């Protein structure tokens, strides 16, 4: 019980710090935006920022869970690329194939995640190396399937990416928001949720306490694979076709919102709400830089500086062996 | 990062001892695997060991080998450096931003090494003074450098590389690439530094057990920062040589080297948990990567299988190293 209550304390401490930093940065960006352009604070622009956050939000959610256990999932980019190719390649314009293919692709994400988790728990190799390896294998398989954009999707498939609910809220972004809130609730209020924190906090202690460490690790990589495949379906909905490198940038960019949101790479501290705000921060930053008419080249510099600024504010717990 | 956790499984004093008195499999397994890979590929495709193909592989090995040597220093102190590829590309852009005359060569060389060292210094300071995880610190520097490079070149770098660097990167001395000679010199110099000097012993102690390091009066922070500076400087050197090999400069010279160099070091027995590994092992890891990529093509498999094979080898090799550490 002591492990659980201490990890709970850390959870609140950690996530509060994270939330304050991100909220502070969000307000700062907003103020700058308002002073730069009249069009910035319009509901139209803000809804735009919201819509554009969808893909990053979905993939970062799974990444957050992997990082909370002290791991990392560097295969998400390849899972996205493979899933996007399979989605449009297998549907190939046939409306009756849409539902079976979506179910199949999500299942593939789950299976890949289970393979990641299985290798990690069985061999004891660091998740960084394991997922780097499976990521390379999956990218190779993707390129064996097709070297260019493959297949097509029927009319209406773009509803997930471009559909709007009443008041103009994006369908995809709202779906992501609901999933995040649900995940935050489950992390706080279920036994498995607390186990994720305990395993990340100290896997040794968690095992000694009798927690199902291996099962928890399997679970987070399965969820990470599932959300990567879901991101792929969103991207196919948005671009209309799957592409063999469409996920490549997501591997590293899915980590930015997680760490900016206050989740520690060492595991055990942070939470998904910080990540959600981190996603909105990245989305708002890119939007603001467009308004500032900054060359796209400097957008990268700004992203790097935001990461440095944010992580310098948090202090990773020192692990003394 | 969580690498410290993996280390908890292996008692630390033993880990630093195994670096000196290693068991047979762990220290020679990589070399046996390398020889086996060469023999099997040769049996399937004799052209694999033709003079031209060997020369070609050695030329590809040199830049990767130089980066791997630097990466080894960083991994030994429980870090990793994701910014090496970005440093390489930046060095390539610097090399073309002068007139392209051989008289500028010394200036270019100093500017590149200075840039690499400065990047390493920034990485090291973030890791030691701000306690940022190496993954994030070097990831952020990678992105910042990439952005600065794009901004400086407006996305389309141009200009010429002095012919001296072209020679160094792509010419051979009766089949022996010049760039490999550079790698050998670097390997010997830094091998002496790591395996025969007081600084090298401090690197192993700092990575093996930071607490001990502090107790015996080692300035662990300074050792760590120096390791990042070495890594950044060597990456810049490798970028210069690779740009001489490629001949044309784009913004992504060296793409993929950050992961390949980490993979090579891990395959060569450099433990991500720090304090264990050698430059010879890391270079053997780099050689395996080059040989396998080449072998896939030589035995007539589709090119896409290159990365599949690479991924499989990473996981298999890494799992072989973890097992003995647990026992």
Give the one of A137, A300, A320 whose C-beta lies nearest to B147's C-beta.
Answer: A300
Reply yes or no on whether the pLDDT at A317 is more than 60. Answer: no
Q: How is chain A split into domains, by residue range?
A: 2-313
The 3-state DSSP class for residue A119 equals helix
> Could you tell me the two tokens for B302?
């589709």
The nearest CA of chain B is from the CA of A96 a distance in Å of 32
What is the per-residue pLDDT across A25-39, written as a single tens digit (0 to 9) for each? 899 989 999 998 888
- Which residues 58-117 on chain A approach chain B with CB closer than 8 angstroms? 70-72
Predicted confidence band of residue A298 (pLDDT cuts 50, 70, 90): confident
Fold of A2-313: ABC transporter involved in vitamin B12 uptake, BtuC (1.10.3470)
Distance between CA atoms of A263 and A252, rounded to whole angstroms?
A: 15
Q: pLDDT value at position B90?
A: 93
ipTM score assigned to the predicted complex:
0.79
Closest A-chain CA to B140: A304
Q: How is chain B split into domains, by residue range?
A: 3-326
Under 8 Å CB-to-CB from B150, ≥6 apart: which residues?
A: A296, A297, A300, B251
DSSP bridge pairs for A170: A164
Lowest model confidence (mean pLDDT) among A88-92, A211-215, B251-255: B251-255
Q: Which residue has the tokens 């997922």?
A: A131
Mean pLDDT of A155-166: 91
Mean pLDDT of A254-270: 88
Using CA atoms of A143, A145, A150, A153 in order, give the dihedral in degrees to the nearest 10: -130
Q: pLDDT value at position B325?
A: 42
Closest B-chain CA to A258: B136
What is the per-residue pLDDT across A268-278, written as a single tens digit (0 to 9) for each? 888 999 999 99
What are the b/e assignments for A228-243, b being 16+ CB within 10 Å?
A: bbbbbbbbbbbbbbbb
Domain B3-326 has CATH 1.10.3470: yes
Distance between CA atoms of B79 and B231, rounded to whole angstroms?
A: 11
- Which residues 264-283 on chain B approach chain A with CB closer than 8 angstroms? 266, 272
Distance between CA atoms of B237 and B120, rounded to whole angstroms?
A: 13
Instruction: Inform me whether the C-beta atom of residue B314 falls under 8 Å from chain A C-beta atoms.
Output: yes
Instruction: Inform me whether the C-beta atom of residue B126 falls under 8 Å from chain A C-beta atoms.
Output: yes
Q: pLDDT value at position A5?
A: 53
Distance between CA atoms of A190 and A193, rounded to whole angstroms?
A: 5
The 3-state DSSP class for residue A182 equals helix
Which chain A residues are Cβ-neighbours of B127 within 8 angstroms?
none
Predicted confidence band of residue A293 (pLDDT cuts 50, 70, 90): confident
- Which residues 183-242 on chain A approach chain B with CB closer than 8 angstroms? 203-204
**Inter-CA distances, B296 with A164, A230, B44, B56, B58, Å:** 49, 33, 11, 15, 16
Higher-scoring residue by pLDDT: B258, A77: A77
CA B48 and chain centroid, separation: 25
> Could you tell me the two tokens for A269?
């501290």
Distance between CA atoms of B69 and B238, rounded to whole angstroms?
A: 11
Mean pLDDT of chain A: 88
Reply yes or no on whether the pLDDT at A146 is more than 90. Answer: yes
Sign, Cα dihedral of B150, B151, B156, B161: negative
Which chain A residues are Cβ-neighbours of B132 within 8 angstroms?
308, 311-312, 316
Is A51:A44 a contact under the CB 8 Å cutoff? no
Predicted confidence band of residue A279 (pLDDT cuts 50, 70, 90): very high
Give the one of A72, A125, A140 whose C-beta lies nearest to B315's C-beta.
Answer: A125
Distance between CA atoms of B76 and B211, rounded to whole angstroms?
A: 15
Which chain B residues are Cβ-neighbours of A115 within 8 angstroms?
none
Q: pLDDT value at position B319?
A: 81
Under 8 Å CB-to-CB from B231, ≥6 apart: which residues?
A: B70, B71, B73, B74, B81, B84, B120, B123
Which chain B residues are Cβ-neighbours of A126 within 8 angstroms?
2-3, 6, 272, 318
Predicted confidence band of residue A125 (pLDDT cuts 50, 70, 90): confident
Give the one of A119, A124, A266 whose C-beta lies nearest to B2's C-beta.
Answer: A266
> Could you tell me the two tokens for A208?
């000694």
pLDDT tens across the length of chain B (327 residues): 444 444 444 443 444 444 444 566 666 777 888 888 889 889 988 888 888 899 889 999 999 999 999 999 999 999 999 999 999 999 999 988 887 788 888 999 999 999 999 999 999 999 998 888 898 899 889 988 988 888 888 777 777 888 888 888 888 888 789 899 999 999 999 999 999 999 999 999 999 988 889 899 899 999 999 999 999 999 999 999 998 887 766 777 778 898 889 889 988 888 888 888 999 999 999 998 899 888 888 888 888 888 898 888 888 888 877 644 433
Contact A307 B209 (CB under 8 A): no
pLDDT above 90 as % of chain A = 63
Which chain B residues are Cβ-neighbours of A305 within 8 angstroms?
140, 144
Instruction: Inform me whether the C-beta atom of residue A310 falls under 8 Å from chain B C-beta atoms.
Output: no
- Which residues 58-97 on chain B approach chain A with CB closer than 8 angstroms? none
Task: Tell the burial category of B13 from Cβ atoms under 10 Å away from its Cβ (0-12, 13-18, 19+).
Answer: exposed
Q: pLDDT value at position A63?
A: 97
Mean pLDDT of A72-96: 96
Task: Tell the burial category of B131 from Cβ atoms under 10 Å away from its Cβ (0-12, 13-18, 19+).
Answer: middle
Reply yes or no on whether the pLDDT at A199 is more than 90. Answer: yes
Is B294:B48 a contact under the CB 8 Å cutoff? yes
Reply yes or no on whether the pLDDT at A69 is more than 90. Answer: yes
Which chain B residues are Cβ-neighbours of A63 within 8 angstroms?
none
Reply yes or no on whether the pLDDT at A178 is more than 90. Answer: yes
């Amino acid at each position: 019980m002591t492990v659980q209550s201490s990890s709970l304390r850390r959870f609140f401490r950690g996530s509060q710090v994270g939330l304050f930093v991100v909220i502070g940065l969000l307000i700062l960006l907003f103020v700058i935006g308002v002073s730069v352009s009249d069009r910035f604070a319009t509901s139209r622009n803000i809804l735009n920022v919201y819509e554009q956050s969808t893909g990053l939000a979905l993939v970062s959610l799974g990444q957050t869970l992997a990082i909370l256990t002290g791991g990392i999932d560097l295969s998400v980019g390849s899972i996205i690329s493979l899933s996007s190719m399979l989605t449009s390649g297998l549907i190939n314009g046939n409306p009756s194939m849409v539902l079976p293919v979506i179910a199949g692709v999500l299942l593939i994400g789950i299976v890949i995640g289970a393979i990641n988790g299985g290798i990690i728990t069985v061999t004891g190799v660091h998740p960084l190396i394991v997922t780097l390896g499976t990521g390379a294998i999956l990218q190779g398989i993707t390129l064996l399937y097709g070297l260019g954009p493959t297949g097509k999707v029927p009319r209406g498939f773009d509803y997930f990416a471009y559909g709007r609910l009443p008041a103009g809220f994006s369908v995809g972004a709202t779906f992501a928001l609901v999933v995040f809130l649900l995940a935050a609730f489950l992390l706080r209020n279920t036994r498995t949720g607390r186990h994720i924190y305990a395993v990340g906090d100290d896997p040794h202690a968690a095992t000694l306490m009798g927690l199902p460490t291996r099962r928890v690790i399997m679970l987070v990589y399965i969820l990470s694979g599932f959300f990567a495949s879901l991101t792929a379906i969103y991207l196919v909905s948005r671009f209309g076709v799957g592409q063999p490198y469409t996920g490549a940038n997501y591997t590293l960019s899915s980590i930015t919102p997680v760490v900016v949101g206050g989740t520690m790479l060492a595991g055990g501290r942070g939470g998904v709400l910080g990540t959600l705000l981190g996603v909105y921060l990245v989305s708002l930053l890119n939007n603001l830089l467009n308004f500032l008419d900054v060359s796209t080249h400097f957008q990268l510099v700004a992203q790097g500086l935001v990461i440095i600024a944010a992580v310098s504010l948090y202090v990773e717990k020192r692990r003394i062996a | 990062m969580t690498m410290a956790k993996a280390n908890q499984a292996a008692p630390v004093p033993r880990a630093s001892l195994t670096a000196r008195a290693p068991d047979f499999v762990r220290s020679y397994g990589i070399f046996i695997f390398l020889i086996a890979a060469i023999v099997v590929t040769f049996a399937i495709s004799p052209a694999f060991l033709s003079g031209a193909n060997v020369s070609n592989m050695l030329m590809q090995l040199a830049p990767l080998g130089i980066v791997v040597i630097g990466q080894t220093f960083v991994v030994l102190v429980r870090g990793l450096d994701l910014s090496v590829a970005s440093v390489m590309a930046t060095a390539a852009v610097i090399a073309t931003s002068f007139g392209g005359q051989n008289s500028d060569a010394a200036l270019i060389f100093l500017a590149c090494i200075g840039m690499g060292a400065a990047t390493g210094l920034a990485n090291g300071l973030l890791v030691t003074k701000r306690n940022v995880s190496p993954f994030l610190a070097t990831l952020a520097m990678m992105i910042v450098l990439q952005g600065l490079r794009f901004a400086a070149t407006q996305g389309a770098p141009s200009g010429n590389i002095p012919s001296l660097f072209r020679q160094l990167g792509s010419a051979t001395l009766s089949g022996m690439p010049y760039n490999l000679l550079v790698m050998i010199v670097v390997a010997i110099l830094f091998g002496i530094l790591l395996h025969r000097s007081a600084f090298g012993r401090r690197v192993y102690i700092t990575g093996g057990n930071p607490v001990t390091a502090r107790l015996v009066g080692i300035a662990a922070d300074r050792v760590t920062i120096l390791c990042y500076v070495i890594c950044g400087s060597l990456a810049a050197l490798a970028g210069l040589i690779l740009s001489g090999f490629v001949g044309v400069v784009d913004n992504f010279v060296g793409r993929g080297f950050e992961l390949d160099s980490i993979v090579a070091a891990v395959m060569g027995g450099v433990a991500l948990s720090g304090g264990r590994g050698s430059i010879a092992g890391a270079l053997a890891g780099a050689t395996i990567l080059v040989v396998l990529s080449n072998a896939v093509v030589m035995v007539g498999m589709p090119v896409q299988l290159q990365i599949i094979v690479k991924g499989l080898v990473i996981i298999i090799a890494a799992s072989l190293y973890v097992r003995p550490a647990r026992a």
